[in-house]
C-alpha cells in the first residue's frame, strides 16, 4: 500500500498546484487545500488502523531497501502523531478562510501553498525513518513556517528573521549530529543505526552526536532557555498561521526527541548509560518554573499563551526524560492533548482578533456577553491546560505526576503542581477580565449594548468541535493509552 508515500506527496503536489492555479483563480485555492489535507487525514487514519490491526508498517521509497534507500517506518508512536498533525491542520483550515479573504486576498495562493507545504513537511518529519530525510523535511517545515509567520503585520518580519537565525542553528546542530552518527555507523536509517550503536555506546562521538542532536532539537522545540524565538514569532504571526504553527511545530519536535530517545539511541543508552536523566529533568523543572513566571508577567493574551506553550513543552521533555513508563506515556499523551488544547486556545484568540479587538488584557472586557461561543471554547481550552478533569489535560498530567512519583523526582512533581496553579491564575485573570469588565474599556462608548458579536460560523464551529474534542479525548484516554501508547513505549521500560 502506498499510503505512507502519498501522505507526504499529496500535500506536496497540492501545494505546487495551489501556487500555480492560485495565480489564475483565487477561489480554487481553499478547496484544493481542503482536498489535499483531507486526503492526508484520511490516509493517516488508515495507517493508524493498519498499525493497530497488523503491526508496524514498512514502506521503502522507490523499492530501495534501507540502508541504501529511504524507508518510512510507521509504528504506534508515528501513527498517533500523524493523525494528530493531519487532524489539527485540517480542523484549522476552515478557520483560516475568512481571514485570508479579508487580509491576504492578493496572496491567497501563496498562503495556502505554504500552509499545505508546511503540513507536508510536518507529516514527513513524523513518518520518515531516515535521519537525513528528517533534516530535509524539518527545513521544509521550518522555511514555510518562517514565510507564513512573516505575513503578519508590524514586527512580524523581524520576529521571523530572528526565528530564521535561531531555527537554522537548531536544524544545523541536528544535521551535525546526524553527521557524527554517520561517521560512526555508516548508516542514515534510524533503525539501522539503532542496531549498530549498542557496541559503540562508550564512544565519545556517539555521546557528542547525542548531545548536539538534543540541543538542536531543543532549540527547535523552544525548551527554556532556548525558547527566545517563540514568543515574538507566535505573537506577531497572523492568527490563522499561529493556530497552525503553535499546536504543531513544537509538538512534532517533541516527537523527534522521543523518537531519538526510544528508537535511535535506545532507552538503555539514553537513560542508563548516560546517567543524565535526572539532570535533564531538573532542566525541565527550571524551564517550567521560568516559563510560568514569564507568562505571569505578560499583558497580552497571545504572548501569555506563547509562554504557556513553552511550559507545556517542558512538561513533555521532563516526562520523557523521567525514564519510566508512566513518564513516557504522559509525554506521548501530552503530545496529542497539548496539540488539541493549543489549537483550541489559539483559535479562540484568533476569533477575538478577527472581530477587530486587540488581544491585550485591557481590550478583553465584556467578551462573555459579546462572544459567548468563543469564550466557551477558550474556557474549555483553559480548563484543559489547567488540568481539570474530564478534559484531556488532566489525564496527561496524571501520567506525568505518576511518573514523577515513581521516579522519586519530587522536584518535577512540585514544578508540575506549581505550573498548574500558575496556569489557573493566568487563565482566570483573563476570564475575570472578560466576565467582569464592561464592554470596550479602551474603545470608549459602545453602541451595540448587549448584542452578540460572535465570530463567523466558519471560525466558531472548528473551535467548538475542538472544545468538545478535548472532553471526548479526555474520557477516551484509557483507550488511547491501552491501545496505542502502551505499544509506543518499549516493552523494556518499567
Partner 1 sequence: MPVVVSVKPFFAVFVSLFLVPVLLSCRSPNVREAWTFVAAAVKFLLILSMLPEVMSGTEIVTHVAEVLPGLEIKFRVDALGMLFALVSSFLWIVTTAYSIGYMRGLAEHSQTRYFCYFSLALSATIGVAFSANLLTLYLFYEMLSLATYPLVTHHQDAEARSSGRKYLLYILGTSIALVLPAMLICYNLSGTLEFSSKGILGMDAGTPLVVTLLLMFVFGFAKAAVMPLHSWLPAAMVAPTPVSALLHAVAVVKVGAFSILRAVTGILGVDLLRNLHAGTIVCVLASATFLIASLIALSQDGLKRRLAFSTIGQLSYIVLGVALLSPKALMGGAVHIAMHAFGKITLFFCAGAIFVAGGKTRVSELTGIGIRMPFTMAAFFLGAMSVIGLPPTGGFISKWYLVLGTLEAKQWVFLVALLASSLLNAAYFLPIVYRAFFIVPEETSHDVSIHEAPPWCLVPLGITAAGSVVLFFYPEVFLGLAQIAAERLFGG
Partner 2 sequence: MISTLIAKYNYWIYITLMMVGMYAMIAKNNLVKKIIGMNVFQTAIILFFVSIGAKQDATIPVLEHSHGPEAHTVRALDYINPLPHVLMLTAIVVAVATLGVALALAVKVFNRYHTLEEDEILTQIREE
State the residues that interact with partner 2 by CB under 8 A.
132, 135-136, 139, 143, 146-147, 150, 154-155, 157-158, 160-161, 164-165, 168-169, 172, 175-176, 179, 182-183, 188
Rounded distance between C-alpha atoms, residue 272 and residue 285, angstroms: 21
Could you say which of partner 1, partner 2, none residue 424 binds, taking C-beta under 5 to 8 angstroms by partner kind? partner 1
Task: Please identify, using beta-carbon distances, which residue of 67 and 390 lies nearer to partner 2.
Answer: 67
| Residues 369/450, Cβ–Cβ less than 8 Å | yes
Q: Alpha helix locations (H) across 104-238?
A: 108-127, 131-149, 156-185, 190-196, 204-221, 229-236
Q: How far is the CB of 116 from partner 2 (least distance, A)?
A: 17
Task: Please identify, using beta-carbon distances, which residue of 214 and 332 lies nearer to partner 1.
Answer: 332
Task: Please identify, using beta-carbon distances, which residue of 1 and 165 lies nearer to partner 2.
Answer: 165
Binding-site member from 246, 481, 488, 489 for partner 1 (CB under 8 A): 481
Task: Please identify, using beta-carbon distances, which residue of 143 and 305 lies nearer to partner 2.
Answer: 143
Q: How far is the CB of 25 from partner 1 (least distance, A)?
A: 43
In sequence order, what are the residues at sequence separation of 6 or more whose Cβ sits closer than 8 angstroms to the Cβ of residue 101?
Answer: 108
Could you say which of partner 1, partner 2, none residue 276 binds, taking C-beta under 5 to 8 angstroms by partner kind? none
Q: Does 451 bind partner 1 (CB under 8 A)?
A: no
Helix (H, G, I), strand (E, B) or coil at 130: strand
Q: How far is the CB of 400 from partner 1 (least distance, A)?
A: 10
Task: Please identify, using beta-carbon distances, which residue of 353 and 467 lies nearer to partner 1.
Answer: 467
Could you say which of partner 2, partner 1, none residue 52 binds, taking C-beta under 5 to 8 angstroms by partner kind? none
Q: How far is the CB of 291 from partner 2 (least distance, A)?
A: 23
Task: Please identify, using beta-carbon distances, which residue of 64 and 428 lies nearer to partner 1.
Answer: 428
Q: How far is the CB of 420 from partner 1 (least distance, A)?
A: 5
- Considering CB under 8 A, how many residues would be counted as binding partner 1? 30
Using CB atoms within 10 Å of the CB of residue 235, give its burial: 0 to 12 exposed, 13 to 18 middle, 19+ buried.
buried
Q: What is the dihedral of CA 258, 79, 10, 456, to 10 degrees?
A: -90
Rounded distance between C-alpha atoms, residue 252 and residue 80, angstroms: 11
Q: How far is the CB of 262 from partner 1 (least distance, A)?
A: 20
- Looking at residue 26, what DSSP letter applies? G
Rounded distance between C-alpha atoms, residue 136 and residue 121, angstroms: 9
Could you say which of partner 1, partner 2, none residue 168 binds, taking C-beta under 5 to 8 angstroms by partner kind? partner 2
Q: How far is the CB of 391 from partner 1 (least distance, A)?
A: 10
Could you say which of partner 1, partner 2, none residue 139 binds, taking C-beta under 5 to 8 angstroms by partner kind? partner 2
Could you say which of partner 2, partner 1, none residue 417 binds, taking C-beta under 5 to 8 angstroms by partner kind? partner 1
Could you say which of partner 1, partner 2, none residue 183 binds, taking C-beta under 5 to 8 angstroms by partner kind? partner 2
Could you say which of partner 2, partner 1, none residue 390 binds, taking C-beta under 5 to 8 angstroms by partner kind? partner 1
Q: Which residues pair with 58 in a beta bridge?
A: 73
The backbone torsions φ and ψ at residue 128, rounded to the nearest 5 degrees and listed phi first, read -75, 155
Could you say which of partner 1, partner 2, none residue 432 binds, taking C-beta under 5 to 8 angstroms by partner kind? partner 1
Task: Please identify, using beta-carbon distances, which residue of 35 and 417 lies nearer to partner 1.
Answer: 417
Rounded distance between C-alpha atoms, residue 288 and residue 315, angstroms: 7
Rounded distance between C-alpha atoms, residue 463 and residue 457, angstroms: 10
In sequence order, what are the residues at sequence separation of 6 or more whose Cβ sits closer than 8 angstroms to the Cβ of residue 313?
Answer: 221, 222, 223, 227, 250, 254, 287
| Residues 410/318, Cβ–Cβ less than 8 Å | no
- The per-residue DSSP string of 304-329 comes to HHHHHHHHHHHHHHHHHHT-SHHHHH
Q: How far is the CB of 148 from partner 2 (least distance, A)?
A: 11
CB neighbours (10 Å) of residue 103? Answer: 17
Rounded distance between C-alpha atoms, residue 468 and residue 382, angstroms: 13
| Residues 295/307, Cβ–Cβ less than 8 Å | yes
Binding-site member from 216, 327, 387, 393 for partner 1 (CB under 8 A): 387
Q: Which residues pair with 360 in a beta bridge?
A: 300
Helix (H, G, I), strand (E, B) or coil at 67: coil
Could you say which of partner 2, partner 1, none residue 282 binds, taking C-beta under 5 to 8 angstroms by partner kind? none
| Residues 296/424, Cβ–Cβ less than 8 Å | no
Rounded distance between C-alpha atoms, residue 121 and residue 143, angstroms: 10
Q: How far is the CB of 435 from partner 1 (least distance, A)?
A: 7
> Which residues, numbered 356-385, are part of the site for partner 1 (CB under 8 A)?
383
- Per-residue mark of binding to partner 1, 398-437 (x: CB under 8 A): x--xx--xx------x---x--xx--xx--x---x--xx-
Helix (H, G, I), strand (E, B) or coil at 476: coil
Residues in touch with partner 1 (CB under 8 A): 383, 386-390, 395, 397-398, 401-402, 405-406, 413, 417, 420-421, 424-425, 428, 432, 435-436, 474-478, 481-482
Amino acid at each position: 500500500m502506498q499510503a505512507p508515500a502519498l501522505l507526504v506527496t499529496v500535500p506536496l503536489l497540492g501545494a505546487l498546484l495551489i501556487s500555480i492555479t492560485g495565480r489564475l483563480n483565487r477561489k480554487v485555492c481553499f478547496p484544493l487545500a481542503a482536498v489535499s489535507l483531507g486526503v492526508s487525514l484520511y490516509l493517516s487514519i488508515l495507517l493508524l488502523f493498519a498499525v493497530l490491526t497488523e503491526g508496524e508498517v514498512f514502506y521503502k521509497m522507490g523499492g530501495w531497501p534501507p540502508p541504501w534507500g529511504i524507508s518510512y517506518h510507521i509504528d504506534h508512536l508515528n501513527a498517533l502523531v500523524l493523525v494528530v498533525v493531519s487532524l489539527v491542520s485540517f480542523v484549522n483550515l476552515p478557520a483560516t478562510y475568512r481571514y485570508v479573504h479579508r487580509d491576504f486576498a492578493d496572496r491567497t495562493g501563496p498562503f495556502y501553498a505554504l500552509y499545505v507545504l508546511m503540513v507536508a513537511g510536518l507529516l514527513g518529519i513524523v513518518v520518515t525513518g531516515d535521519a537525513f530525510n528528517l533534516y530535509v523535511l524539518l527545513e521544509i517545515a521550518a522555511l514555510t513556517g518562517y514565510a507564513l509567520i512573516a505575513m503578519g503585520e508590524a514586527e512580524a518580519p523581524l520576529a521571523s528573521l530572528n526565528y530564521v537565525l535561531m531555527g537554522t542553528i537548531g536544524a544545523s546542530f541536528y544535521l551535525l549530529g546526524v553527521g557524527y552518527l554517520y561517521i560512526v555507523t555508516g548508516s542514515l536509517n534510524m533503525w539501522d543505526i539503532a542496531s549498530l550503536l549498542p557496541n559503540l555506546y562508550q564512544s565519545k562521538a556517539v555521546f557528542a552526536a547525542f548531545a548536539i542532536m538534543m540541543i538542536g532539537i531543543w532549540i527547535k522545540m523552544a525548551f527554556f532557555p532556548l525558547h527566545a524565538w517563540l514568543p515574538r514569532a507566535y505573537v506577531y504571526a497572523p492568527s490563522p498561521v499561529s493556530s497552525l504553527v503553535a499546536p504543531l511545530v513544537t509538538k512534532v519536535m517533541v516527537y523527534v526527541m522521543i523518537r531519538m530517545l526510544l528508537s535511535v539511541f535506545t532507552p538503555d543508552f539514553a537513560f542508563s548509560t548516560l546517567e543524565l536523566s535526572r539532570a535533564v529533568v531538573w532542566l525541565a523543572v527550571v524551564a517550567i518554573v521560568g516559563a510560568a513566571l514569564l507568562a505571569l508577567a505578560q499583558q497580552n493574551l497571545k504572548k501569555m499563551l506563547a509562554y504557556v506553550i513553552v511550559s507545556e513543552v517542558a512538561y513533555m521533555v521532563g516526562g520523557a526524560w523521567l525514564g519510566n513508563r508512566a513518564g513516557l506515556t504522559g509525554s506521548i499523551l501530552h503530545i496529542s492533548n497539548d496539540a488539541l488544547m493549543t489549537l483550541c486556545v489559539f483559535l479562540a484568540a484568533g476569533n477575538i482578533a478577527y472581530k477587530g479587538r486587540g488581544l491585550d488584557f485591557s481590550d478583553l472586557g465584556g467578551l462573555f456577553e459579546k462572544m459567548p461561543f468563543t469564550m466557551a471554547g477558550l474556557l474549555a481550552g483553559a480548563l484543559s491546560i489547567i488540568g481539570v478533569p474530564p478534559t484531556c489535560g488532566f489525564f496527561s498530567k496524571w501520567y506525568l505526576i505518576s511518573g514523577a512519583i515513581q521516579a522519586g523526582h519530587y522536584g518535577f512533581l512540585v514544578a508540575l503542581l506549581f505550573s498548574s496553579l500558575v496556569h489557573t491564575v493566568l487563565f482566570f485573570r483573563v476570564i475575570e477580565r472578560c466576565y467582569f469588565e464592561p464592554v470596550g474599556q479602551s474603545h470608549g462608548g459602545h453602541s451595540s449594548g448587549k448584542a452578540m458579536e460572535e465570530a463567523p460560523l466558519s471560525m466558531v464551529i472548528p473551535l467548538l468541535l475542538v472544545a468538545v474534542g478535548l472532553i471526548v479525548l479526555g474520557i477516551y484516554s484509557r483507550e488511547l493509552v491501552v491501545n496505542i501508547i502502551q505499544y509506543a513505549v518499549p516493552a523494556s521500560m518499567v
